[in-house]
Structure 1
Amino acid sequence: MSQTEAPFPESPASSDEYSLDDLLQFAESNALNALDKSKIARTSPYTVGKFLTRLPVDDRRVVLRLLNIEGVAEVLSEMDSEDAAEVIEAMRQARAVKVLEALDPDDSADIVGDMEEANQHRLLNDVNPERAETVRTLISYPEDSAGGIMTTDVATVPKEFTVRQTVDHLHTLHDEFEHIYYVYVIDKNGHLLGTVSMRDLVMAKTNDIIGDIMHTELRGVLNVLTDQEDVTLVMAQHNFHALPVVDDDNRLLGMITDDDVIDIIQQEATEDFQKAMGAGGDESLNDPIAESVRRRSPWLLVNLLSAFMAGGVISLFEEQISHLTILAVCMPIVASLGGNAGGQTLAIVIRTLALGDFEDQDARRVLIREATKACLSGIIVGLIAALAVGILGHHWDVSAVIFVAMIISMSYAGLAGALIPITLRKLKLDPAQSSQMFLTASTDIVGFAVFLGLGSWVLL
């Protein structure tokens, strides 16, 4: 079937934009050229961005040619920076430069930072010198720091300005700056002196001096090297729409807005979950197969090693298992319940660490409490399991073994579920990094050893 004959979706007459399903049907039908230019322009940039991540770079360019420069910038800002960088690198030089200039400075920096160094120099040499310098400064900061995610589009005034002068100044910035929540007051050297909110400006008299109405007791001021996880905690603590970012000399460098923090929270949450399971922190379903395999394989090899260790424990009791096969039947039950109990503790502890609600002096108390919780759960679950084995299998001696083994195994699992992330944090490592794998390995080994050891001692 030719491209012109390929079927593509007929959207309802009341719809003036495409849904993601509509766009995917165009791609599956090889009918991207049949997209309606005005309709794609009205489609949410987020939707278009999600669609483009599923396409090869040449097809992405086909879609983006239907949009003006501002539209392209909006779509790219919604995409992963690596995908956006790949698109811009494939554009003609003149168009790529215009897009970079249309993006917010922080978005430009994120995208340029993911480009090959040669492409960075090639594009920034043609970008507006002021914007190029801003981008170079932003990409010099660590990617996961306040400096790496801030925007330099900040409304500033000297303390000598009147309210009228400040409002007139904001009018000139309205089209250039996306977010103006606060006006930051600085001295001639750029040092942060205070802030004025939009409410303060509205309520003040036009002849009032900014220095007289500004707030000088500043809260939520971030150092440029503050880790992005700490940024989210500060934003949550103060409930501000924006946080100022300064250097070590208190010179104002930029600000971080609440929408930036939402992105960070989403990124951190997904990264922690994926790392806990041994996948790449920023891995997605659309990544190249070889890249995903490369990221996952090392942790699977660690998992293989731990599985051999657990298998080695079982092999020590091979003779006992051959004499009493009920041990083989009940063995996975103990290990499975231990792993689940540890997983519950692990999830709670990692969340607590992420929220900043844990201090080093809390470690002993947390370990004892979590081991106690798991022990009590082990008594309840172990009793039910023991009754089930005794009633259904008529092995009351095995019931006693499984009851005691369940308590010991689950108590250890609760302890390990708290100890592993706390230890990783103490070692300055990510508490979420493959903690689930380490937990599963240790609970399997302990569960098998305890159950088979008790079973051999009591039954044989």
Structure 2
Amino acid sequence: MPQEEKAADVARREEGYTLYDLVSMADSAELDRLDDETLLRTSPHILSVFLSRLDVDTQRQILRRFSPEQVSEIVSEMDSEQSAELVSEMREHRAVSVLNEMEPDDAADIVRELEDDDRDRLLKGMQKSQPEAAEDVLELLEYPEDTAGAIMNPHVATLRPEMTIDEAIGAVRKMRDEYENIYYLYVVDSDDVLQGVVSMRALLLAPKGSRVGHIMRTGLIGLLAPTMDKEIVAHIMADTNFHTLPVVDSDGELLGIITHDDVIDIMRDENTEDIQKMAGAGADEGIFDPIFSSIRQRSPWLLVNLCTAFVASAVVGFFDSDIAVLPVLAVFMPIIAGIGGNTGAQTLAVTVRSIALGEVEMFDMSRVCLRETWKGFLNGLLIGLLGACLAMAVTRRWDFSAIVWVAMLINMSLGGFMGSFIPFTLKKFGLDPASGSSIFATGCTDTGGFFIFLGLGALFLL
């Protein structure tokens, strides 16, 4: 073995496998050559990404090399649907042990995705082995999937206001292995009603002899209700810049916390969902999903796209005799339609984002549509002029160039209008503003662009 390869092999054993190493071994059917010690040093995140590319049987074969605690770290990094499929195929004792090792919110995400029979079977196993863990999961499952209650962690580091600073610091030392993250210490009374919060910095710098009640912050902001939508939770955390937010019931009892990593997952999932929905792909579709699953999710919107394309082609067919007389019309048709479509796509991206972030509401619809139409018009003045100059260079006809300018101006204005009107309209009818909006907007600008350009050409050039 060359010296460089020996050095790389030593480094790999010390740091663990890279994703490239694992994928290369899988592609070469050499997974049986995986070294246990190197595998154990590999990052759980890398392992989760790698396992998501494999079938369930191969996933189980690799995970047999890990303890239940280590498996829980890896599986909790995976998509909840994939994790649920994997856990459901494990032996019951093994699956229950893995779920028991997880944080309650992670375990609840997986259990929620299980089939009814598997869910009942594994929950019964958890109740027998660790009743407290099972109870935490069952409480989280009572909340709707997209709410704060469903994603909160009920394990919270708490203090009592009457504690001295030394007592509080001693309590924190005992908590270090019990809680996921300790950014803030929540102060509760004997009924677990939230009284205030203490940061670790404030606790460590507090004067000797003080009590927790003297240094805690009251008048808290960012309190969450368990039924609050998780997108609103993300907005509140972004606005407050806190690492964690407390979830309380109507009586002020502390139920759990939501941490910044939970919110990052929310924002990533929501952004991914919006981007994919805009193009007509499945909201939670992944690149390595089964082929027929992807086809099933994409086909309905492709059929809608096919219908809009037929409408656009019907417009072209209506002007076929005019195109036969002046074939150069056909040359510039894609330009008129394409520039309008791109204008609509730009407007869609900004409008969908603004709606998602709560920057605009339904009462802003008229104002936003007018502004975006005006933006499209002003862009059309410049871009249309450049298009007209190109048309003049090609055809040497000023009248044809003027038609190109006017058609681009109108279609870009239409693109700006439809790019804002469609998301608002979808929201008005209770639909996701991103759902297929790109397909609808492109259909409008294609059909409108063809009709405007060919109509003006037939009216003024023939």
Q: Same fold (TM over 0.5)?
A: yes
Q: Is the CA contact (8 Å cut-off) linking 1:194 and 1:218 kept in structure 2?
A: yes
Identity over aligned pairs, percent: 48
Name the counterpart of 1:59.
58
Name the counterpart of 2:168.
166
Q: CA RMSD in A?
A: 1.7
Q: Secondary structure at the match of 2:214?
A: helix
Q: Check 1:244–1:302 CA distance in 2 against 1; reply closer, same or farther (3 A cut).
A: same
Name the counterpart of 2:335.
333
- The alpha carbon displacement at 1:10 in A equals 9.2
- The alpha carbon displacement at 1:262 in A equals 1.3
Name the counterpart of 1:131.
133
More displaced stretch, 331-340 vs 185-194: 185-194
Counterpart among 226, 238, 244 of residue 242 in structure 1: 244
Task: Supply the distance in 1 between the matched residues of 2:421 and 2:325 (Cα, whole angstroms).
Answer: 37
Q: Is the CA contact (8 Å cut-off) linking 1:339 and 1:413 kept in structure 2?
A: yes
More displaced stretch, 181-190 vs 380-389: 181-190
Counterparts of 1:22-41 in structure 2 under 5 Å? 22-41=21-40
Name the counterpart of 1:392.
394
Q: Establish whether residue 119 from structure 1 lines up as the match of residue 121 from structure 2.
A: no
Counterparts of 1:13-412 in structure 2 under 5 Å? 13-15=10-12, 16=14, 17-127=16-126, 128-412=130-414
Q: Secondary structure at the match of 1:13?
A: helix
1:303-355 deviation line (CA, Å, top 9, x unaligned) = 11111111222222122222221111111111110000111111111222222
Task: Supply the distance in 1 between the matched residues of 2:409 and 2:327 (Cα, whole angstroms).
Answer: 22
Q: Is the CA contact (8 Å cut-off) linking 1:9 and 1:25 kept in structure 2?
A: no
Q: TM-score, normalised by structure 1?
A: 0.95
- The alpha carbon displacement at 1:11 in A equals 4.3
Q: Establish whether residue 12 from structure 1 lines up as the match of residue 9 from structure 2.
A: yes
Q: Is the CA contact (8 Å cut-off) linking 1:11 and 1:22 kept in structure 2?
A: no
Name the counterpart of 1:437.
439
Q: Check 1:9–1:91 CA distance in 2 against 1; reply closer, same or farther (3 A cut).
A: farther
- The alpha carbon displacement at 1:415 in A equals 1.1
1:116-172 deviation line (CA, Å, top 9, x unaligned) = 111111111121111111111112222221112111111123322222222222222
Task: Supply the distance in 2 between the matched residues of 1:305 and 1:215 (Cα, whole angstroms).
Answer: 60
- The alpha carbon displacement at 1:178 in A equals 1.5
Task: Supply the distance in 2 between the matched residues of 1:430 and 1:154 (Cα, whole angstroms).
Answer: 34
1:226-252 deviation line (CA, Å, top 9, x unaligned) = 222211111111110101112233221
1:153-197 deviation line (CA, Å, top 9, x unaligned) = 111233222222222222222112121111112233322221111
Task: Supply the distance in 1 between the matched residues of 2:39 and 2:146 (Cα, whole angstroms).
Answer: 33
1:370-403 deviation line (CA, Å, top 9, x unaligned) = 1111111111111111111112222322111111
- The alpha carbon displacement at 1:209 in A equals 2.3
- Which one-letter code corresponds to 2:36 in the other structure? K
Q: Is the CA contact (8 Å cut-off) linking 1:314 and 1:449 kept in structure 2?
A: yes
- Which one-letter code corresponds to 1:110 in the other structure? D
- Which one-letter code corresponds to 1:366 in the other structure? V
Task: Supply the distance in 1 between the matched residues of 2:309 and 2:246 (Cα, whole angstroms).
Answer: 49
Q: Secondary structure at the match of 1:357?
A: coil
Q: TM-score, normalised by structure 2?
A: 0.94
